[in-house]
Amino acid sequence: MILTTSSFIIGKNIIKTFALVRGNTIRARHLGKDIIAFFKNLAGGEIEEYTKLMAEAREQAIDRMIEQAKALGANAIIDVRFSTSYIMGAASEILAYGTAAIMD
């Protein structure tokens, strides 16, 4: 599956576009990771536990978007974007979306 944030790929032709495809996941923080993050926040710097959590959520959202595109018969997704939404105090949604297409 070809994924791109642009509307085209040089050297490839878009044969057909389908509907919007998307994949999402909602992830909640873990109490143990929150405690570690609290202490890291005092010292400053990256909170690796949350970075890893969000990276895993993005990958899951991408995988779900790809499955939706495959079900339509697409071999590419163009104009891929991400969105993050705050759901509640300890949970966030990651949404990946784009346009399913067939490219040669």
The reported pLDDT for the residue numbered 49 is 77
Q: Residue 1: what residue type? A: M
pLDDT digit string, tens, across residues 31-50: 555 566 666 666 667 777 77
For the chain, how big is the Rg over CA atoms in Å?
17
Alpha-carbon distances, residue 16 vs 7, 26, 74, 103 (angstroms): 13, 31, 9, 7
pTM above 0.85, yes or no: no
- Low-confidence stretches of the chain (pLDDT < 50) are none
Fold exhibited by the domain 2-103: Translation Initiation Factor IF3 (3.30.110)
- Cα–Cα distance measured from residue 9 to residue 82, given in angstroms and rounded to the nearest whole number: 19
pLDDT for the residue 78: 97
E strand or H helix at 16, and its extent?
strand 14-28
> What is the pLDDT, as a whole number, of residue 86?
81
Domains of the chain by residue range: 2-103
pLDDT the model gives residue 30: 62
What are the residues whose beta carbons fall under 8 Å from the beta carbon of 57, sequence distance 6 or more? Answer: 25, 27, 92, 94
Look-up of token digits 């990958």: 59
* pLDDT for 29: 66
